[in-house]
């Protein structure tokens, strides 16, 4: 924050990065920083790295996708545990700041702000801004709040602490309408209902582990992109018999299968790391090279459940 908010103009531009296959926290922290910089430090050219065309962005305040310019460049990477998952080329930057709340596996930044106990990356960003008494535009506050409730599941997960509520209280100062934000987040369409029906009619269950699988043909039939297929994983949550639940979607472009894993009381991140993934104790992701690996993943999860 000293680098960004100091009196001296140390950088000509800032490139904001986040992880591939972004969720609410990834986009929320990226766009929260984007709106803060545009408003508080308008002399700095700010660039959003990565794919900024996904449907989920409709619930965030609108933004501009600027091109990278010549000049001294600061890179800020948000919500990304390891370098391989960064969506964008960080070699364009003279200095890298990493801000993240995942288990520390790769401190790739010149400056690393890593807090495994935080509910979200948005919480960390918000508390940094609060510490420096930064007055936020409503667009920044709304983006950060959306990311915070996304990763904490509306403050339901046990990563929620008094610091989380301090951050939320700070954001409420700046005129955000939480009713509108929640409505935008949870409003459904008829298309969503059809997808929900499809998942409930086609899910599988084995020994306390539930999952649904969407092939490339299923995705086309339902009219959704690969990343959208994973967003319905919590349709299988809150079922007493299911301790672990998953979304498995075919990624035809990369010839693999993406898995979103969630659990209740079962630490799954170590298992996810065995299958080219990782994440939080109760919310992780993995990648399968073939569907044959799904049985191996399920067996490893069963071992974890029964261990």
203-240: pLDDT as tens digits: 999 999 999 999 999 999 999 988 889 989 999 999 99
Which tokens is 110 given? 């010149």
Per cent of the chain over pLDDT 70 is: 99
Assess whether pLDDT exceeds 70 at residue 155: yes
Q: Which residues are CB-contacts of 63 (< 8 A; sequence separation ≥ 6)?
A: 31, 34, 35, 48, 52
What is the rounded CA–CA span in Å between residue 184 and residue 81?
Answer: 28
**C-alpha distances in Å from residue 87, one per residue of 102, 285, 290:** 17, 16, 24
User: What confidence category does residue 7 fall into, taking pLDDT thresholds of 50, 70 and 90?
Assistant: low
Bridge partners of residue 98, in order along the sequence: 77, 112
- Residue tagged 């539930």 (tokens): 210
Q: Is the pLDDT of residue 268 over 90?
A: yes
Specify the pTM.
Answer: 0.84
Read off φ and ψ for residue 25, nearest 5 degrees. -70, -40
Length reported for the chain:
307
For residues 33-52, one letter each, b for 16 or more C-beta atoms within 10 angstroms of the residue's C-beta and e for the rest, the string is bbbbbbebbeebbbbbbbeb
Please give the pLDDT value at position 8: 63
What is the Cα 64 distance to its own chain's centre? 20
Q: CA torsion angle for 24, 25, 30, 34 (degrees, to 10)?
A: 80
Which pLDDT tens digit goes with each residue over 51-103? 999 888 999 999 999 999 999 999 999 999 999 999 999 999 999 999 999 98
Place of tokens 């043909």: 217
Give pLDDT tens digits for 8-39: 678 999 999 999 889 999 999 999 999 999 99
Burial 57-78 (b: 16+ CB within 10 A, else e): eebbbebeeeeeeeeebbbbbb
């Amino acid at each position: 924050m000293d680098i960004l908010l100091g009196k001296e103009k140390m950088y000509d531009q800032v490139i904001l990065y986040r992880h591939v296959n972004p969720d609410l926290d990834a986009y929320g922290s990226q766009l929260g920083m984007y709106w803060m910089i545009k408003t508080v430090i308008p002399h700095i050219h700010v660039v959003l790295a990565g794919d900024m065309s996904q449907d989920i962005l409709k619930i965030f305040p609108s933004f501009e996708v600027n091109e990278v310019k010549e000049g001294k460049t600061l890179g800020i990477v948000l919500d990304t545990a390891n370098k391989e998952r960064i969506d964008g080329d960080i070699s364009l930057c003279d200095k890298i700041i990493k801000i993240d709340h995942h288990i520390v596996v790769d401190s790739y930044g010149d400056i690393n702000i890593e807090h495994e106990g935080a509910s979200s990356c948005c919480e960390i960003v918000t508390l940094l801004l609060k510490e420096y008494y930064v007055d936020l535009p409503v667009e920044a506050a709304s983006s950060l709040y959306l990311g915070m409730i996304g990763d904490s599941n509306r403050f339901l997960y046990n990563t929620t602490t008094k610091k989380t509520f301090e951050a939320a209280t700070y954001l409420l100062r700046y005129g955000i309408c939480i009713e509108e934000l929640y409505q935008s987040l949870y409003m459904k369409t008829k298309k969503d209902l059809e997808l929900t029906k499809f998942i409930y009619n086609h899910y599988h269950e084995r020994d306390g582990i539930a999952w649904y699988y969407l092939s490339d043909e299923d995705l086309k039939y339902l009219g959704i992109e690969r990343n959208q297929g994973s967003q319905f994983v919590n349709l299988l949550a809150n079922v007493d018999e299911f301790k672990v639940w998953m979304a498995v979607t075919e990624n035809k472009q990369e010839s693999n299968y993406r898995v979103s894993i969630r659990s209740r009381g079962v630490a799954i991140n170590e298992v996810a790391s065995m299958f080219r993934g990782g994440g939080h104790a109760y919310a992780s992701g993995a990648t399968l090279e073939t569907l044959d690996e799904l049985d191996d993943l399920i067996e490893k999860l069963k071992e974890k459940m029964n261990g």
